[in-house]
Structure 1
Amino acid sequence: MKGDASIPLLPCVELAPTLEFYGLLGFEVTYQQRAPNPYAATRRGGAQLHFFGLKGLDPLKAFSTCLIIVDEVEELHARFLAALRQAYGRTPVRGLPRMTRMRKGQTRFTVVDPSGNSVMFIRRDEPSGYGDDADAPTTLLGKALKTARRLRDFKGDDAAAAKVLDAALKKDGAGTTLERARALAARAELARALGDTSGALERDRNLSALPLSAAEREALRLELEAIQP
């Protein structure tokens, strides 16, 4: 007996630019009609996305979202980025369409299409909780790390993530030494992404000055690799 299947059906302003965009990402059109209603089906490997025309759709207010589970994300992100750069002559991190940034150790990224639909690509073996602790964070730094992670990886808002971390790092006794190290590592990575080289070096120095044990440094391995220039 064949297994069940679920296919996301996403709205779009126009089919042509939508299909052109997804074609850059390797999706092939398997069906298309213009009447009586605009409709198209696409496929990339085992993933299918269908689209329908929706009059009056405002891409800036769109909220449709779907998930695509993949075997790996870093190489996939690199291929998508190369294709989008070639097509648009820039890295599309703002406006529409756009794609969230990728850092070492990240297990998901999001593509936002010309109609404002968000398609999230998630690594199949992503840890549960997406890097969050099983329990809700109780310290100021713990809460700031969680908020910054979601601003950076889900919304692609590096500047807002940096502000959240800066506010928490200014507070004495805001969390454990390990949490402060994690926050400094995350802030250094954001500084480099924002083109703030001096800010990144300052966070690097502050991180190096923290009294971390060998076990704590091993726990920070991915974060430390992510901030390597």
Structure 2
Amino acid sequence: MKGDACIPLLPCVEIAPTLEFYALLGFEVTYQQRAPNPYAATRRGGAQLHFFGLKGLDPQKAFSSCLIIVDEVEALHARFLASLRKAYGRLPLRGLPRMTRMKKGQTRFTVVDPSGNSLMFIRRDEPAGYGDDADAPTSLLGNALKTARRLRDFKGDDAAAAKVLDVALKKDGAGTTVERAKALVARAELAMALGDTPRALELAREAGTLPLLASEREALRQLTQSQA
């Protein structure tokens, strides 16, 4: 007996640009109709996505989502990145469509299509509690880093993640020096993603002035290099 199958059916503003976008991600069209209702089916490996035209759809208010389980994510993200950069001349981090960034060791990323549908690509062996620290953070900065990471990696909300870190960084005694350095680096990376280069440079300079051990500074350097 064959196993059950479930195929997401996602709304879109227009079928043609939707299929053009998914072609950049390696999805091939397996079926398409224009009448009586716009409809299309696509496939990429074992993943199938179907689309239907929806009049009046506002992509900025869309909330349809889909989880796609894959064997690996870093190489897949790199392939998507190359394809989107070639098509748009840059990695689309804001607006529609867009794709979240990828850090070394990350096990998921999100693509939002032109109609506002969110596709989260998740590594098959992702550990339970992804994004959580081995030990629950107890400081304000530690909790802020955890929350900001979730806002960035799960929701793709860079602005909200930046706000969380800004609040914590303004508090005296909010955490250890190492936690402050990590928060500054994370906030600098978000500033770059949000198009605020002067702020990113300011935050990076502040992180560089903190009194850290050589081993801590090396770990911070590696953290900085892992930001994508």
TM category, shorter: 0.7 to 0.9
Distance in 2, matches of 1:206 and 1:126, equals 36
Q: Is the 8 A contact 1:25 1:80 kept in 2?
A: yes
Q: CA RMSD in A?
A: 2.8
Percent identity between the two aligned chains: 79
2:68 partner letter: I
Deviation at 1:79, TM superposition (A): 1.1
Give the aligned partner of residue 226 of structure 1: 223
Task: Give ranges in structure 1 of 5+ residues lacking alignment.
Answer: none
2:223 partner letter: A
Give the aligned partner of residue 14 of structure 2: 14
Q: Could you list the per-position Cα deviations for residues 139-167 of structure 1 after superposition, in whole angstroms to 9, with x for gaps in the alignment?
A: 42233112211232234343442332132
Alignment of 1:23-38 (within 5 A): 23-38=23-38
Q: Secondary structure at the match of 1:43?
A: strand
Structure 1 residues 23 and 104: alpha-carbon distance in aligned structure 2, compared to 1, 3 A threshold: same
How many residue pairs align between the two structures?
Answer: 223
Moved more, 13-22 or 143-152: 143-152
Structure 1 residues 120 and 56: alpha-carbon distance in aligned structure 2, compared to 1, 3 A threshold: same
Alignment of 1:68-147 (within 5 A): 68-133=68-133, 138-147=138-147
Q: Secondary structure at the match of 1:17?
A: helix
Give the aligned partner of residue 205 of structure 2: 202
1:123 partner letter: R
Distance in 1, matches of 2:64 and 2:83, equals 24
Structure 1 residues 189 and 88: alpha-carbon distance in aligned structure 2, compared to 1, 3 A threshold: closer
2:205 partner letter: E
TM-score under structure 2 normalisation? Answer: 0.83
Task: Give ranges in structure 2 of 5+ residues lacking alignment.
Answer: none
Moved more, 3-12 or 82-91: 82-91
TM-score under structure 1 normalisation? Answer: 0.83
Structure 1 residues 177 and 125: alpha-carbon distance in aligned structure 2, compared to 1, 3 A threshold: farther
Distance in 2, matches of 1:59 and 1:147, equals 26
Deviation at 1:95, TM superposition (A): 1.2
